[in-house]
Chain A
Amino acid sequence: MKILVPVKRVVDYNVKIRVKPDQTGVDLANVKMSMNPFCEIAVEEAVRLQEAGTATEIIVVSVGPAQAQETIRTALAMGADRGILVKTDDELEPLGIAKVLKAVVEAESPDLVILGKQAIDGDNNQTGQMLAALLGWSQGTFASELGIEGDKINVTREIDGGLQSVKLAMPAIITTDLRLNEPRYASLPNIMKAKKKPIDEKELAEYGVDAAPRLEIVKVAEPAEREAGVKVETVGELVDKLKNEAGVI
């Protein structure tokens, strides 16, 4: 079984970002970038399926600038076999990315595509579902457990009320939630080995899909700041303030 894992390079989750003063976007100059945490979970799951003998090949793909190479290398160091970098300096929207990924799927014919449920920069939570639609495949989103059973895959999903299990026809699209696994750190020998693994560099134009942005970003602004309030000394004082000052109890 062949698995494709799309990975995205994003601002590291520990970074507190700043909005540009001219409100055109977020200032990403000299900011630490990492693999989107949900994509790490996707890579880890693919590697575990390979270690269990279920998967035979893991291909990682990233759509983005030349530096997205580093993100692909990280995935190769975790255990993926080879990478594809679709180079673009444009800010693609989820539908555009899904169209590019569809072309990659058609070229590589994977049985399973595992994506993150959401990228922690755009917070869109769209790409996997859109890819499933474009391919006419089933989708198992927000997965916390996977079980392959012949040509079907059982997916436990994290939903608002608790957990839901669905059985999907393969090929399928999976998007990862936090509890699916705990991603490994790449070991030094594996980081060295990953340097020799192949990364195929493509230009976006080679895929012949129209992925041009369609939305207009009017502005990006700072959220309303919350002021720190007061410290109370005792629980009694707290209850008194909630009752008589804030009026919320």
Chain B
Amino acid sequence: MNTLLIAEHNNETLADATVKAVTAAAQMGGECHVLVAGSGCAAVADQAAKLEGVAKVLLADDAQYEKQLAEPMAALVVAMADGYATIASPASTNGKNFMPRIAALLDCSQISDITAVIDANTFERPIYAGNAIQTVKVTEAKKAVTIRATAFQAAGDGGSAGVEAAGAADNPGLSEFVNEELTKSDRPELTSAKVVVSGGRGMQSGENFPMLEKVADKLGAAVGASRAAVDAGFVPNDYQVGQTGKVVAPELYIAVGISGAIQHLAGMKDSKVIVAINKDEEAPIFQVADYGLVADLFTAVPELEEELGKAGL
């Protein structure tokens, strides 16, 4: 039985999370059909069609899908759900928003944030901030799934699927987009960056973050933060890494002035190499760090920038 994978995108570019979600969908057996719902998003459909493992792309190009609001998205997907065993999406804030609405309308269960596909109906997912891994089996014909993209490799690009137009559904008219304040940055996107440099409460203020940004720029890294740093207003909400923020799994994660609360670890402990810079040698972050440096960040971070320069970066 087939999977309908709802693409994450910004109407221009297919998100890396979708490219990884295709790999998870392919492991569920049957064909993977990608739904690109948006406005003026035909280019995204073409990108999806080139992914290995995609059998068909469905393009719902209509103004009401521009921001993927939950109410019209759910109406659209429910109208086309017949014949699919699985409705899937990346576990992005969009997917988390519309997927449970779709599941409830279809009267099926949702498995959130899967990190492994055991077989077509059995999945692993973290619970309790990643302190336990649950294996869940679905025994019914239909299910909804959100996929933690960082747990899967990107699909290759040898595909050549056809793109079909999908008609729009009636908009329930319950919600209206007003505006958006998106954080602008030339750095890589946090959840797909190869290197992430994060700052915590120890940074003391937003004015000190440029110090981290300089290091990030040397490494081609994204900048993240702990909840404490976001709550204190040092950086915007979309920087938050953790159980209730973003989950990252880069090659290298550098935690600066972050104590290592379980809620923070939940978002970064699957990174390949973890570096911690903290002045308190008892800080729990050192228990997960491959390389720990006990030092005052205000001397260590500028020194790090300099040493990276000397190393030719």
Residues on A facing B (Cβ under 8 Å): 11, 13, 16-17, 19, 26, 38, 93-95, 98, 117-118, 120-134, 136-142, 144, 154, 157-169, 177-179, 214-223, 226, 228-232, 234-236, 238-239, 241-243, 246, 248-249
Contact = CB atoms under 8 A, between A and B. Distances in A.
Contacts, number: 260
Given A223-B126, A239-B311, A249-B219, A142 B251 contact: no
Contacts of B174: 137-138, 168-169
Interface in B4-52: none
Given A216-B138, A238-B291, A238-B304, 19 more contacts: A16-B262, A17-B132, A118-B244, A127-B100, A129-B98, A131-B104, A139-B101, A158-B238, A163-B181, A178-B244, A179-B237, A215-B137, A215-B138, A217-B135, A226-B269, A229-B292, A235-B293, A243-B311, A248-B272
A239 B219 CA distance: 12
Contact of A231 (B107, B135, B294): B294
Interface in B107-158: 107-113, 122, 126-140
29 contacts: A16-B131, A17-B128, A94-B110, A126-B110, A127-B100, A129-B98, A138-B175, A139-B101, A139-B175, A159-B93, A159-B180, A161-B180, A162-B181, A162-B238, A163-B237, A178-B240, A179-B237, A216-B137, A220-B135, A223-B131, A226-B274, A228-B286, A228-B288, A230-B292, A231-B281, A235-B293, A238-B291, A239-B308, A242-B291
A154 B236 CA distance: 20
Contacts of B279: none
Interface of B: 67, 69-71, 74, 92-94, 96-105, 107-113, 122, 126-140, 172-183, 191, 195, 219, 227, 230-231, 236-238, 240, 243-244, 246, 251-252, 262-263, 269, 272-275, 281, 286-295, 300, 303-304, 307-308, 310-311, 313
A216 B300 CA distance: 50
A105 B135 CA distance: 33
Contacts of A235: 293, 295, 300, 303-304, 307
B105 A133 contact: yes
Q: Say what secondary structure dominates the interface of chain B.
A: mixed
B112 A133 contact: no
A243 to B, nearest CB: 6
